[in-house]
């Protein structure tokens, strides 16, 4: 049974710092790993998606890496800003990328609550 954990549960940093959020999953048979951001009371915003054949993805100040063999993914945020304050969730997808009707199963981690202090 796939389990996804995230460390730390909460993080508070001063503005400008670089930081790393960690995500671990127990079953390496995933076909993607997705990072999301959630603001209070809002839906989830997709940040980065890494296919199982990829090692990392970058978007602006964000970089996500995936190591299936160790069951880990990290989200690196460079030069943090107060606007980055939110909860960050990772999600591991089990299924088949080439099967139109694959029965996907997406397991979410509990999230890391990030606060960037001005």
Binding site for another protein (CB under 8 A): 31-32, 34, 36, 41-46, 49, 51, 89, 91, 93, 95, 97-101, 103-111
Least distance in angstroms from the C-beta of 23 to another protein: 13
Q: Which is nearer to another protein, 80 or 89 (CB)?
A: 89
Q: What angle do CA 18, 65, 60 make, to 5 degrees?
A: 55
Q: Which residue has the tokens 């998606």?
A: 49
Q: Which is nearer to another protein, 91 or 116 (CB)?
A: 91
Q: Which is nearer to another protein, 52 or 74 (CB)?
A: 52
* Beta bridge mates, 94: 105
Residues whose CB is less than 8 angstroms from the CB of residue 82 and which lie 6 or more positions away in sequence, other chains included? 15, 116, 117, 118
Least distance in angstroms from the C-beta of 103 to another protein: 5
Main-chain phi, psi angles of 83, to 5 degrees: -65, -10
């Amino acid at each position: 049974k796939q389990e996804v954990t995230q460390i730390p549960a909460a993080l508070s940093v001063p503005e400008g710092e670089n930081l790393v959020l960690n995500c671990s999953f127990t079953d390496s048979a995933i076909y993607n790993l997705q990072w999301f951001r959630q603001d209070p009371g809002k839906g989830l915003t997709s940040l980065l998606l890494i296919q199982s054949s990829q090692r990392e993805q970058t978007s602006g100040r964000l970089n996500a890496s995936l190591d299936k063999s160790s069951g880990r993914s990290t989200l690196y945020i460079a030069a943090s800003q107060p606007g980055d304050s939110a909860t960050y969730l990772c999600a591991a997808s089990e299924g088949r990328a080439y099967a139109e009707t694959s029965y996907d199963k997406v397991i979410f981690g509990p999230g890391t609550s990030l606060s960037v202090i001005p």
